[in-house]
Structure 1
Amino acid sequence: MVADTFDEPGEQDAELRPFVIDAAHHGQRLDRALAALVPEFSRSYLQQLIEAGAVTLGAAVVARSSHKVRAGEAGRIELRPTPQSQAFRPEPMDLHAVFEDEHLLVIDKPAGLVVHPAPGNWSGTLLNGLLARDTAASLLPRAGIVHRLDKDTSGLMVVARTRAAMDALVALIAAREVAREYVALAHRPWQGGRIRHVDAPIGRDPRNRLRMAVVEGGKPAFTTLELLQDAEQGCWVRASLHTGRTHQIRVHMAHIGHPLVADELYGGAAAGALGRQALHAFRLAFRHPSTGAELEFRSQLPGDLRQALASWGLRYNDPEWLTSHAP
């Protein structure tokens, strides 16, 4: 456990925070144990502090990250404020909740909202909003976030409100028992059969580390794609995720020759005045982790995507489309 004595930024240059190694971390490396006990700091940053002599166990400085810790050992770490450590702070924001109970929250995320703090986005994220919305979120890893949407992808996300719900939702996702469906507007008229199954491994692009790509030896990635409507300029597609790799739909669509509209990272270009990648998480379905009830949620198409569709002469009859294309 770690004492809750985090200071406001600017009050002092460093904080001496005591900790005690609990049974769950007995026998672990020091850096790994500290990463669990001080979750607002990255493991790499904690390794730097260890190597700089900022960590003591008992009365002795321990300067090796690989040092094995024992349950009951007491120590302290000198924490120096960083943008990353300051990121885990509540920031009130208007979040659109489509469902909420004491176990979980389902939100409809707008395009442009970053889900989790990261370099370049240490504030103004969904995590900051969740911390402000519910004080109990601070007790959960990542404020209860169990899956992510890219910054410029809109649509539905489920967030846990208890540790039990979080563990259960993570297990459901790993077992592929959470249905996540998207709609996407892509370049070029559709190629191949109306339904295409893309089974292609995804990993870091060796030529551009900012991108993902279909690569040999990558993690398994499986997406089902269905043509909904075709146009001279491109196609309107429904995508169902069977795995959850970073940028999976964007990578697979580009891989088969249909990069998403306005997705410049993967070969797309602006069209229909759309300023962000044309991807929307419209359906989310899963079994409630506590009650066992089958839940299903659907999100209406945002205005910018409606306008882009109309500019290509494609139709979107709402809510008839959502009903007629339900699985």
Structure 2
Amino acid sequence: MKKIDIKEEDLGNRLDLVIGLKYKDLSRNKIQTFIKNGDILVNNLKVKTGHILKDGDLVTAIDLGIKEEIIYKAEKVNLNLDIIYEDDDLLVLNKPKGLVVHPASTYDGITLVNGLLYQVDKLSTINGENRPGIIHRLDKDTSGLLLVAKSDLAHKRLAKQIANHEIDRNYYAICYGTFKESTGTINMPIKRDPKDRLKMAVVKDGREALTNFKVLEQYRNHSLLELSLITGRTHQIRVHLSHIGHPILGDQTYGPRKFYGNTGQYLHAFRLSFKHPITKKFMTFETKMPDEFLEAIKDIS
């Protein structure tokens, strides 16, 4: 049996739809037939095609002729990654905008993983050979601090911290519109958009999602925000701000049809705080606001 990788954004969705998103070479009818015949199992049990995936579900399948999610071995590429801290168990780097974190079925180009393999001698193996060291990720066009595990023990403990919401992540964002309030919390559930399976959306029966925000500056028609994640849903900040009428500048997915610039959303992870998984020391790292932000602020002021 082959294990099928189930991600956080898949939870709360139908099994047949999730399989269809991962393996586009299979028709929905074929997938449903496989499930009905017990060729795709959840926790080693036959389930209905509409089974809703839950945290901890193990999805496996016999050889269905499904293409492997990653069909190549990630190679070493010199990306001159900006590693701002490193020890025997972990590293923290400043990811540039425009760089995908790891390869996937929908992307087989150069990723941050290629750069890690070139610059780092040891990476955790828990997530497989195409995602070595990867504990969490940032969207392609979101820049900023990313935590990477070098040992498997550090990986397990850091992943547990993430699951328990014990790692603090703070972001800068430039968004449309101005605010009456100076601070607030957006508490709106998120799941895959029923109308567009490639996007996430605020949906009543979605998973709990909380984002804190603080208004740092207001301009004519825009605002500079500091945001912190209480939960870590896919595209959470982008979806939340768009839903309340303040989409992020440059966001080509959740922003206005005519978007600003051509480099993607102005979202930067500038602060990362966590407890070292081995030494237990509390650590905080920060980066300065990107030059691109400063240039955009001049433009919108």
| Shorter-chain TM band | 0.7 to 0.9
Report the 3-state secondary structure (helix = DSSP H, G, I; strand = E; otherwise coil) of the residue aligned with 2:198: coil
Query: How far does the alpha carbon of each residue in 1:216-235 deviate from its partner, in whole angstroms, 9 at most, with x for none?
Result: 11011000011111111211
**Correspondence for 1:134 among 120, 144, 154:** 120
- Equivalent pair of 1:115/1:149 in contact (CA under 8 Å): yes
CA distance in 2, matches of 1:123, 1:134: 20
Structure 1 position 257 matched with structure 2 position 228: no
Higher relative CO (CA 8 A, sep ≥ 6), structure 1 or 2? Answer: 2
Q: Deviations over 1:93-116 (max 9, x none)?
A: 211001000000100000000011
Distance 2:133 2:87 in 1: 14
Q: Which has the higher helix share?
A: 1
Shift of 1:135: 4.5
Look up the SS of the partner of 1:310 in the other structure.
Answer: helix
Partner secondary structure for residue 144 of structure 1? coil
- Structure 1 residue 126 displacement after superposition: 1.0
Match for residue 31 of structure 1? 2
Q: Is the 8 Å Cα contact of residues 195 and 226 (structure 1) preserved in structure 2?
A: yes
Structure 2: stretches of 5+ with no match in the other structure: 6-18, 27-37, 45-62
Instruction: Give the aligned partner of residue 109 of structure 2.
Output: 123
> What does the per-residue CA deviation read over 1:187-240, in whole Å, with 9 as the maximum and x for residues that have no partner?
1122x4211111100001111111111001101100001111111121111110
1:42-61 residue CA offsets vs partner (Å, 9 max, x unmatched) = x977xx9xxxxxxxxxxxxx
Match of 1:285 among 251, 255, 273: 273
Kindly indicate whether the alpha-carbon contact (under 8 Å) linking 2:98 and 2:263 is maintained by their aligned counterparts in 1. no
TM superposition shift of 1:120: 4.1
Matched, 1:93 2:79: yes
Structure 1 unmatched runs, 5+: 1-29, 36-42, 49-62, 69-76, 314-327
Contact 1:87–1:117 under 8 Å retained in 2: no
Report the CA distance between 1:277 and its aligned residue: 0.4
**In 2: Cα distance, 1:147 partner to 1:264 partner:** 22
Partner residue, 2:236:
248
Paired amino acid for 1:306:
L
CA distances 1:259-312 after superposition (whole Å, capped 9, x unpaired)? 0011121124434x4632010001001111110111110111111111001112
Partner of 2:29: none
| Aligned pair partner of 2:171 in 167, 179, 182 | 182
**Aligned length in residues:** 255
Residue 232, structure 1, aligned to residue 220, structure 2: yes
1:31-88 CA distance string (max 9 Å, x none): 23x97xxxxxxx977xx9xxxxxxxxxxxxxx956597xxxxxxxx9x9996822053
Distance 1:84 1:291 in 2: 35
The answer to whether 1:163 aligns with 2:152 is yes
Give the TM-score, by structure 1 length.
0.70
Two-structure CA RMSD over aligned residues (Å): 3.0
Q: Structure 1 residues 289 and 120 mapped into 2: Cα distance closer, same or farther (>3 Å)?
A: same
The SS at the match of 1:136 is coil
CA drift of 1:128 comes to 2.0
Aligned residue in 2 for 1:210: 198
1:305 is aligned to 2:293: yes
- Percent of aligned positions that are identical: 38
